[in-house]
Structure 1
Amino acid sequence: MSLPDFLIIGAMKCGTTTLQAQLVAQQGVFMTTPKEPNFFSDDDVFARGMGWYGDLFRKARPGDLKGEASTHYTKRPTHPHVLDRLRPHCPSLRLVYMIRNPIDRAVSHYIHEWSEGRMNSDPVAEFARHPQMVDYGRYAYQIAPWIDAYGADAVLLTSLEQLKADPQAELSRVARHIGLTGPVAWQADLGAQNVSAERVRRIPFQDLLIYNPLATRLRRALVPKSVRNAIRDLRKIRTRPELPADLRRRLQARFMADRDDLARIFPDHPALDLCYPFARADHG
């Protein structure tokens, strides 16, 4: 059975889709379709069996480094069984964990849920109802079990901020970590992937009204493209939500405590400054 050599394990809304697209564009790298199988995290997917998972890598060429990118793998406590399921099958892996400013990540997560119609327009109420939106950005809490399971040398910590600041250098660093020996080149034409500002809010019966093939043909035949685009734009989030000051302060306090833990795991890592600008304010 063909199994992965490396995993991108999150975090959600931190640029993993962009990184995955860049790795796929490199010679000698194979990554799964779908991008996020979430096999070891989601009970219904895991129930499909290891044969199903192995088939995701079947089209890899001999010598390819094989990987997948499932952000559910670092979503404690929502998915608590990932490592128990993974370790027996993949005892040796290279791991990439991508983070970003945790406040920005939480806002992007909220936009994602809003666009899916799962949350309303009141962020204070939604953060109170859904503590996982904070937990997924507690990066030390999420990565610590992976360090225990695979060792610190197996985990590369990177960040969206580092990828934006020097994309070629950071892609090269990731490539070296996963074992890619050939040259790598950042593909600027790919752009950023899965951008929150481009997300469109779902509507009731969306699959029936929009993605149904007959509805699609009728819409394209009867409604001018300019009108269709205007309607779609109305369903995009127009401005990035601003968190109320008291909520922001509470979140920063939670994330600062986790940052201290992250600094003990990855001392002097550049992400500690790049991803936590509010830490400088607290200390200054």
Structure 2
Amino acid sequence: MTKPDFILIGAMKSATSTLHAQLAQQPGIFMSTPKEPNYFSDDEQYARGEEWYDSLFEGAEASDLCGESSTHYTKLPDHPLTIERMKKRLASPKLIYVMRHPIDRLISHYIHQWSQRVISCDINKAIDQYYELIAYSCYAKQLQPYIEAYGKENILVTFTEAIRANPQSELERVAEFIGYLKPVAWHDTLPSQNVSQQRIRPFPGYGLLVESRMMAFLRQKLVPQSLRDRIKGSLTMRERPVIDAVHQQKLIEAFDQDLQILGSWFGRQISCDNFKQVAIAEPLIFVPS
């Protein structure tokens, strides 16, 4: 029975799709399709059973390292049974957690939910109404249960900012952590994965009118570019959402409390103010308890 050797557990909107795609390019590493099976988190996925989950890795060679990337695994409090279910199947998987400046992640999360028509209000109202925008950026709270379940030695943290600044070295660090013994190579030619700014809000008939190759051909031939641009603009978030001063302060206070706990695990002072500097400095290593 094949089980994943490692899992990218999040965070949502923090370059997990990019890292998944890069790992999949390395010979001897097999990444699941779909990228996010969400098996241990989502009740309907878990109900599909162990055989279904195992089938995601059937294409792997016996010597391959297998991985999957489900950001739902770090979406507490929404998926409280994730770790309990994971413990029943996986004794000591290597877990990789990618963090991003918590406010940047929140904004990207908001854009994603807006584009999916989950959220329709402006970002400041959304911060007050949708608890998950803040919760998913509280990295210490999301990681604490995994530390308790699997120990710090089985967890690697990295940053979106570090992956962008030093992609090759971060990929090498991830490879070493999961026990991959061959050289790795970052592929610059891979397209950007899951870019929120390019999202278009779906509408009735979206699949037929937008994603169909035939309709794409007809649009290009029959609809003037200026009209296509106007329609696309009406369905796309044109400007980055702006968080007002009151909500900015609310977020900083909430995230700084969480980052203080996170920093204590690594012997570093981390806050919203210095997050990006910490992210691209030397890698964070858990200090002995």
TM-score (normalised: structure 2):
0.88
Give the match for residue 10 of structure 2. Answer: 10
Taking the aligned partners of 1:120 and 1:201, their CA distance within structure 2 comes to: 11
Tell me the CA shift for residue 209 of structure 1: 4.7
Instruction: Give yes or no for contact 2:259–2:270 (8 Å, CA) kept in 1.
Output: no
Q: Residue 161 and residue 243 in structure 1: after superposition, are their counterparts in 2 closer, same or farther (change >3 A)?
A: same
Higher mean C-alpha deviation, range 247-256 or range 234-243: 234-243
Q: Deviations over 1:197-234 (max 9, x none)?
A: 111112244346545x6xx6356336537648523354
Instruction: Give yes or no for contact 2:263–2:270 (8 Å, CA) kept in 1.
Output: no
Tell me the CA shift for residue 61 of structure 1: 1.2
Tell me the CA shift for residue 120 of structure 1: 1.4
Instruction: Give yes or no for contact 1:198–1:236 (8 Å, CA) kept in 2.
Output: yes
**Taking CA–CA contacts closer than 8 Å with sequence separation of 6 or more, which of the two structures ends up with the larger relative contact order?**
1
Tell me the CA shift for residue 276 of structure 1: 7.6
Q: Residue 117 and residue 3 in structure 1: after superposition, are their counterparts in 2 closer, same or farther (change >3 A)?
A: same
The alignment status of 1:164 with 2:164, answered yes or no, reads yes
Give the match for residue 217 of structure 1. Answer: 214
Q: Deviations over 1:34-83 (max 9, x none)?
A: 00000000000100000000000000012110000000000000000001
AA aligned to 1:137 is S
Instruction: Give yes or no for contact 1:6–1:68 (8 Å, CA) kept in 2.
Output: yes
Give the match for residue 176 of structure 1. Answer: 176
Q: Residue 226 and residue 105 in structure 1: after superposition, are their counterparts in 2 closer, same or farther (change >3 A)?
A: farther
Give the match for residue 152 of structure 1. Answer: 152
Matched ranges for 1:185-200 at <5 A: 185-200=185-200
Matched ranges for 1:1-284 at <5 A: 1-207=1-207, 209-211=209-211, 217-218=214-215, 220-221=217-218, 224=221, 227=225, 230=229, 231-268=231-268, 273-275=274-276
Q: How many residues align?
A: 274
Q: Deviations over 1:12-37 (max 9, x none)?
A: 00000001111011111000000000
Q: Structure 1: where are the runs of 5+ without partners?
A: 278-284
- Residue 251 of structure 1 aligns to a residue whose secondary structure is helix
Instruction: Give yes or no for contact 1:102–1:138 (8 Å, CA) kept in 2.
Output: yes
Taking the aligned partners of 1:22 and 1:164, their CA distance within structure 2 comes to: 13
AA aligned to 1:176 is E
- Residue 88 of structure 2 aligns to a residue whose secondary structure is coil
Instruction: Give yes or no for contact 1:117–1:203 (8 Å, CA) kept in 2.
Output: no
Taking the aligned partners of 1:84 and 1:246, their CA distance within structure 2 comes to: 38
Q: CA RMSD in A?
A: 2.1
